Amino acid sequence: MRTILNSLFNRATFVESPECVETTLEHPLAKKTSFSFTPSAYSRFILHAEVPKDGSGDMDFERSGVGSRVNEAGIIEEVQNGGTPRIDHSDGCPYLSLEPQSTNLVEQSETFSNWSTELGRQVVTPNTIISPDGNQTGSKLEVSSEASPTLRKLWVQKLVTVGDPYTFSVYIKKVDGQSGTGFLRITTGINDTFDVSQAYTATDQWQRISITTDSAVSSQIRFLITGDADSQIYIWGGQIEELPYATSYIPTSGAAATRSAEVAGANNVSHLINSAEGAIYYEGSALGATHTSNATISISDGTVNNRIYMYYTSAENQIRFRAVANGLNACEKNIDLTDITEVHKVLFLWTGTTFSIYINGAFMASHDKGRSIGAGVMDKISFNSGSGFKRWLGKVKGLRVLNIAPTAQESLSSTTL
């Protein structure tokens, strides 16, 4: 039976190794912090704030149904209870996983029983090895000795929406004595014309390999696993999603399955926000190089008229910083980065009408249009637009709101990786 995280959590604190932890008191911005969240404590439907400690800054959390995470032991497990946040350890140190709704289109994600082979040349033997979820559900794929790669394939064909992105992912592991190399491929149609290919090299550890087609050009395409002639690899956890990146594992056993989206935010927190001066500090990474939903972190009055926010844009590896005062644009800056899927430390600060941006220990930009947000109007801290839309998507390692603007030196030191 699959490992299931099925208990209701009290206010639980994770104890992590020192390299994972930078407590509120140790942080360079500690004395100016009015609100702080790290993946350290949560209850069902609640993300507990480190600051303030009286609970007045706790964030509401929503997700209906099951989601998966990688636990402290490196095992994939299901978070069974709807409303329970997923604190994930797949990167070593914990982060809050916030993902969009997604459906795994693969009906048999572990047995691969409805996948096709070329005239039966590939052989899949289920339940041969301990899989990433700690159970003996990993399969062995034996590749034929055919010289042509087009005859050495395990594949599944799907009806898709033309023009939409799709991502195919699977966990692989090396079989002793085998080379363990091959490709994941996505075709442009039902034939063997490849849109994209991703080489892999299996190792002694389970690793997840993914490949994305940016824009499907046919209503029917194939997703393939190929290997060296007369070789073997272990496979598990096949997943196909209508997204430009892979999200956490969604198990299936006979039909496609869907994981619901997640949203989090704190209301009635005007006592933590200073409209005249302050900052938003974020540490984390994006799920993919591009985001189509303008996923947002904001402080606001719950409308689009007064808010200070940042979001990943639809452009590749870009973050936009905006402020709106009484319905008028007070700041708008786009910052291009090398790879937003890597962890970044970001500080967006304001003093009156001046807004400034620091990322990874560097000053990036400032903007002053002579407009400031009226005192006392903002009362929400949200992993969304402030009104529940454009939910933040990413791996959240920390979020802070400051009610006193940091100095230039504090801004540089606090964002240095």
Is the pLDDT assigned to residue 32 strictly greater than 80? yes
Token pair of 232 as six digits: 């073997």
Comparing 195 with 25, which gets the higher pLDDT?
195
Q: Are residues 118 and 231 in the same domain?
A: yes
Task: State pTM to two decimals.
Answer: 0.90
Q: Are residues 124 and 235 in the same domain?
A: yes
Taking only the tens place, the pLDDT of each residue in 156-191 is 999 999 999 999 999 999 999 998 899 999 999 988
Domain final residue, candidates 259, 287, 302 = 259
Q: Are residues 330 and 213 in the same domain?
A: no
CB 379 within 8 A of CB 269: yes
Q: Are residues 115 and 248 in the same domain?
A: yes
What is the Cα–Cα distance from 248 to 250, expressed in whole angstroms? 6
Taking only the tens place, the pLDDT of each residue in 43-62 is 999 999 999 999 999 999 99
CB 267 within 8 A of CB 379: yes
Q: Are residues 160 and 269 in the same domain?
A: no
Q: Are residues 267 and 195 in the same domain?
A: no
Binning pLDDT at 50, 70 and 90, where does residue 331 land?
very high
Q: Are residues 84 and 113 in the same domain?
A: no
Kindly report the CATH number assigned to the domain that includes residue 161: 2.60.120.260
Q: What's phi and psi for 121, nearest 5 deg? A: -75, -25
What is the Cα–Cα distance from 70 to 288, expressed in whole angstroms? 19
Q: Are residues 46 and 64 in the same domain?
A: yes
Model pLDDT, residue 21: 56
Q: Are residues 240 and 115 in the same domain?
A: yes
Domain final residue, candidates 259, 288, 304 = 259
Percent of the chain with pLDDT over 70: 91
Domain final residue, candidates 230, 259, 288 = 259
Name 181's Cβ contacts closer than 8 Å, sequence gap at least 6: 199, 200, 201, 202, 227, 228, 231
Kindly report the CATH number assigned to the domain that includes residue 319: 2.60.120.200
Closest by CA to 68, choosing from 133, 13, 9, 134, is 133
Q: Are residues 186 and 245 in the same domain?
A: yes
Q: Are residues 255 and 114 in the same domain?
A: yes
Taking only the tens place, the pLDDT of each residue in 62-113 is 998 899 999 999 999 999 777 899 999 998 889 999 999 999 999 999 999 9
Model pLDDT, residue 11: 43
Order of strands across the sheet with 76-79?
4-5, 76-79, 67-70
Q: What domain range includes position 317?
A: 4-99+263-415
Domain count, the chain: 2
Across 243-247, average pLDDT: 94
Q: Are residues 208 and 149 in the same domain?
A: yes
